[in-house]
Copies of this chain bind each other. A is one copy, B any other.
Amino acid sequence: MNFAFGSTEITAFWLTLKLALSTTLILMLFCIPLAWWLAKSKSWFAMLVESIVALPIVLPPTVLGFYLLIAFSPQTLLGEHYQALTGQQLAFSFYGILFASLIYSLPFAIQPLQATFSQLDKRLIETAQSLGARPLDCFISVVLPICKNGIISAALLCFAHTVGEFGVILMIGGNIPGETQVLSIALFDAVESLQYEKAHNMAAGLLIFSMVILIIMNMLKRGQQRATD
Q: What residues make up the interface of A, taking CB atoms closer than 8 Å to B?
A: 42, 47-48, 50-52, 54-55, 57-63, 66-67, 107-108, 111-112, 114-116, 118-119, 122, 147, 149-150, 153-154, 156-157, 160-161, 163-167, 184-185, 187-188, 191, 199, 203, 206-207, 210-211, 214-215, 218-219, 221-222, 225-226, 229
Contacts and interface: CB of A to CB of B under 8 A. Distances in A.
Ranked nearest first, the 9 interchain pairs of A and B with the lowest CB-CB distance are A60-B184, A60-B166, A58-B210, A51-B214, A57-B160, A115-B153, A115-B150, A58-B164, A58-B163
Given A47-B218, A156-B111, A187-B63, A119 B150 contact: yes
How many monomers of this chain does the complex have?
A: 2
B211 A51 contact: yes
Contacts of A164: 57-61
A153 B111 contact: yes
B157 A111 contact: yes
A63 B184 contact: yes
B115 A149 contact: yes
Nearest to A219: B47
Contacts of A57: 157, 160-161, 163-164
Contacts of A150: 115-116, 119
6 contacts: A48-B215, A54-B214, A63-B187, A111-B153, A115-B154, A119-B147
Interface centre among A57, A116, A153, A154 (most CB of B within 10 A): A57
Contact of A160 (B54, B167, B199): B54
A50 B157 contact: no
Contacts of A147: 119
Nearest to A104: B164
A63 B112 contact: no
A220 to B, nearest CB: 11
A54 B210 CA distance: 9
Given A60-B164, A163-B58, A166-B167, A108 B157 contact: yes
